[in-house]
Amino acid sequence: MGNEKPIGVAVLGLGNVGSEVVRIIEDSAVDLAARIGAPLELRGVAVRRVADDRGVPAALLTDNVEELVSRDDVDIVVELMGPVEPARKAILSALEQGKSVVTANKALLAQSTGELAQAAERAHVDLYFEAAVAGAIPVIRPLTQSLAGDSVLRVAGIVNGTTNYILSEMASTGADYSSALADASALGYAEADPTADVEGYDAAAKAAILASIAFHTRVTADDVYREGITKVTPADFEAAKALGCTIKLLSICERITTADGQQRVSARVYPALVPLTHPLATVNGAFNAVVVEAEAAGRLMFYGQGAGGAPTASSVMGDVVMAARNRVQGGRGPRESKYAQLPIAPMGVIPTRYYVSMTVNDRPGVLASVADEFGKREVSIAEVRQEGITDEDGVPAGARIVVVTHRATDAALSETVSALADLDAVQSVNSVLRLEGTAE
């Protein structure tokens, strides 16, 4: 390599991912230098509290983020602090001072991609974020580079390990949501406050990032339709099994073409029935998978560990190496691509198949009245299952009806469900889930 100038790196945050990044930089220095074409040197690590027991030499630790980011010998800033603030301020400061940035902060990116991308463009530096979606799984780079000459039609996948673990446990053990969540917490898969995961906020942020890249359109988390998994029940899994399906929390981004040829972008997150024959149905535990469909490439699937210190650090370091190579060679990575500027499709116009479970009075004519409400709104029924139910004393307490529809718009289905709830014969509408991954 000769006497190439070292590339200085500052790491902001020393949690599970930050600790692994620091370890890799230190332990793999020789290999990294050979891959980059210059030495990679750790200049400092920003932490909330400087202490001697952090596993990093005390001389490298600082609680002054701004000072570390501003150092002249720092070329790349790796942001792994987590919250939107102060991460946003630190990243903008780094970019404005000509530092390339690597981040795994999906919440920030889903909220402020445009602002960050513009700052990187003005400074002619790199902004990389492979680790923001699906941990160790390479998804961002294939979309921005490998498929740059293709037209992406759809990106769908399981991008949250916590919810996938919970739903996998419910499917395999028959546990209810609360019990499965408790198991996930005990194993460290769920945060103390699991809201961001189980209500779909984390997956929605990732969907916004994927949709923005895939369809060359700025999509924010606020543009993503979102439902969580807290209302999914063991009865839903029993019904799904009878239909040859399981239930997964899916993030779906797709290009929608209207009847008059106009294109729109749809980004949505919700629990859905998935046929057992679909590749996403076999993704269990805390693993993630993303399926990309493109015009020329067809269907591509990316699968692996979607979270954890070491897997996420692997993606972070991939970005660090790319940014460092660009520094050495005088190049730049891909810029933000937003030329398409497609409008966001409202959820009401999105056509999907549905599973509707309800409890009704068990008497003649009820099924016909239920079917009539679907028919009034042109929601075609594909399949109906009915079974009697009893109370704790074994006394008949009505019947459970499960309806599976053909494709219908979300608006038509919502109107149908509201009408069903108003029927005297319907005791309750228990569950409404979408059915994805089928031809019709």
Which is catalytic among the residues 5, 89, 206, 231?
Answer: 206
Write the burial class of residue 419 (CB in 10 Å: 0-12 exposed, 13-18 middle, 19+ buried). middle
CA 112 to CA 213: how far, in whole Å?
14
Cα dihedral sign, 265-267-272-277: positive
Is 206 known to be catalytic? yes
Binding-site positions for NADPH: 106
The total number of residues written for the chain in this structure: 440
The two beta strands, 61-62 and 40-46, are parallel
Query: Dihedral of the CA atoms 77, 82, 85, 88 (nearest 10)?
Result: 30
Is the alpha carbon torsion for 313, 163, 172, 270 positive or negative? negative
Annotated binding site for NADP(+): 12-19
What is the phi-psi region of residue 117: left when phi exceeds 0, alpha when psi lies from -120 to 50, beta otherwise? alpha
Burial 236-249 (b: 16+ CB within 10 A, else e): bbebbeebebbbbb
Catalytic residues: 206
